[in-house]
A = this chain, B = another copy of it.
Amino acid sequence: MSDSEVRANVHRVIDERSESHLQDLCTLVAQPSISAHDEGVKECAQLLADMMKKRGIAAEVIPTPGQPVVYGELIEDPNAFTLLCYGHYDVQPTDPLDLWESPPFEPTLRDGRLYGRGTGDNKGQLIAHVFAASAWKEVAGRVPINLKFVFEGEEESGSPNLGHFVREHKDRLACDLVYISDGGLHPSGDPVISLGNRGVVGITMVAEGADRDNHSGNKGGVVPNPVWMLTHLLATMVDPEGNVLIDGFYDDVRPITEVETDLVARLPFDPVEFGQTMGVPRVEYSQQEYYQRIMLKPYFNISGISSGYVGPGSKTIIPATAECRIDVRMVADQRTADIVEKVKRHAAAVDPRVRVIAGGMGAMEPSRTAPDHPAVPAVARALEEVHGTPAHINASGGGSLPNAVWPGILGTSHIGAPYANADENNHSPNENLAVDCFHRGIHASAEVFWHLGQMAEDA
């Protein structure tokens, strides 16, 4: 068979196996793996490893101080190009449960989408690499390159042990490139290449008033109210337009270059369609501002706040404590430790009664791969073959994949190419993966393997 016949057969086999691929994904999704609650994660690791072994990949479950890493290898030729595919099999918590139209761990097909927690984020994407490798093995007896798989179980909890794991297994993980499929395609459906990610650091703020709840009638006016403390402190940190007011917060933000502005200008933009993917009538920003705010600017988010009583009826109290959770989304070259320090200093100056605690999620540094890396055009060609349309190149994604470990520890660059539909509702109720996106992802991985092999041969 010619190379092109082999490739065609690989894609034909992927199509023929579509039913069993979907079935295997359902099996994976049906296994809860909420790292935040330590719910079912280890069971999911074993299930995933077994699924990989069944397809001829030397897979094992490697313990860490937290949740295990599922590691696998397909080494065809020790001298050949080696791609490390990174993904995560843990998922977000499911609440609010009552907003799910079908139970989160009962994968359900509706209107061409598979609904369930973890369908898009990230089980349906990491398994695409496995299925693509399997198809190459079946058709050609081998994959065009060497593959290593690192599927971790703590990404949704901030990957607290990934750095340690990579450092400990540095030699074993040696590779030429790290490839990550996570997040969604461009809302237009076009493929996307992501060369970096924002950083993130979690901060918890706890305000303490009295050591007990007090009656708001009998004591209202003389007992400190921790919700008011938090409110007033937060209002000094960020203005109503979202600008961060903390001294020095923007010091290390890399200025946006003309090249970046041009890249952004080439991205498609439909404010109504984009709005629908996030649940607002339309995006209220210009194209340039929209993309810059997601990719190239930091964001100071409040992900949760809680104090007192908001249940049925009423409870007339001055609450004893109030807590809020913040995740700061950073861009190069901000550093997590520096940002935490600045937030703490600000809070101490404004209201020393509020405790500021870093953590709650693993801190991740922002990370970017140079746009002239030789693998970029190879991956771009692969995606274009599958999608029939060129990939958009993002200097950075908005999210915070733990990419900094690859250049930082392995000295390897990373390229991301998400496979999910943009409205996958990751981290929300009714998370889903469009079935055609799922199948296309498997084809994409198969093509990426091929084109990287070609690139290595041509080099």
Min Cβ gap A135→B in Å is 30
The reply to whether A36 and B313 contact each other, CB–CB distance below 8 Å, is yes
List the B residue with the shortest CB-CB distance to A283. Answer: B222
Known contacts A222-B294, A305-B308, A307-B304; A217 and B198 CB within 8 A of each other: yes
Q: What 3 A-B pairs are tightest by C-beta distance, nearest first?
A: A36-B313, A217-B399, A304-B308
Q: Do A293 and B222 touch across chains, with their CB atoms under 8 A apart? A: yes
Given contacts A228-B242, A293-B221, whether A200 and B302 have CB atoms under 8 Å apart is: no
Q: Which of B222, B305, B427 makes the CB contact (< 8 A) with A215?
A: B427
The distance in angstroms between the C-alpha atoms of A325 and B426, with both chains bound, is 30
Question: Which stretch in A25-33, A205-213, A246-254, A376-384 binds the other chain?
Answer: A205-213
Shortest distance from the beta carbon of A149 to any chain B beta carbon, whole Å: 23
- Cβ–Cβ contact B307 & A213, under 8 A: no
A232-B240, A427-B214 known; A223 vs B304 contact (CB < 8 Å)? no
Please tell me which one of the listed residues B157, B200, B306, B320 contacts residue A279 in the complex, with CB atoms under 8 A apart: B320
Would you give 13 A-B contacts (Cβ < 8 Å), ordered by A? A34-B313, A35-B313, A36-B312, A93-B315, A95-B311, A210-B280, A211-B279, A216-B327, A231-B234, A232-B240, A302-B319, A305-B307, A306-B307
State the oligomeric state as a number of copies.
2
Q: B residues within 8 A CB of A430?
A: 212
Complex Cα distance, B303 from A51, in Å, reads 51
A231 to B118: give the CA distance in the assembly, Å. Answer: 32
* A347 contacts chain B at the CB level, 8 A cutoff: no
The distance in angstroms between the C-alpha atoms of A325 and B217, with both chains bound, is: 14
B interface footprint on A170-211 (CB within 8 Å = 1, 0 otherwise): 000000000000011000000000000110101000000111
* Residue of B with least CB distance to A200: B217
Mark out the residues of chain A between 285 and 306 whose CB falls within 8 Å of any chain B CB in the assembled complex: 285, 290, 293-294, 297, 299, 301-306
The answer for the CA separation of A323 and B314 in the assembled complex, in Å, is 13
Partner of A223, one of B183, B240, B278, B400: B278
Residue-wise interface mask of A (411-433) relative to B, using a CB-CB cutoff of 8 A (1 in contact, 0 not): 00000000000000111111000
Q: Is the CB of B238 within 8 A of A235?
A: no
Residues on B with C-beta less than 8 A from A103 are: none
Q: Are A325 and B310 in contact (CB under 8 A)?
A: yes
Q: Which of B36, B235, B311 contacts A314 (CB 8 A)?
A: B36
A318 at the interface (CB under 8 A from B): yes
A398 contacts partner chain B, Cβ-Cβ < 8 Å: yes
Closest to A307 in B: B305
* Closest Cβ neighbor of A292 among chain B residues: B221
A93 CB contact (under 8 Å) in B309, B318, B324: B309
Q: Pick the contact of A428 from B214, B228, B310, B426 — CB < 8 Å?
A: B214
Max count, chain B CB within 10 A of own CB: residue among A223, A285, A319, A360: A223
In angstroms, Cα B32 to Cα A70, docked, is: 52
Query: Quick one: which of A364-391 are within 8 Å of B by CB?
Result: none
How far apart are A354's CB and chain B's nearest CB, in angstroms? Answer: 12
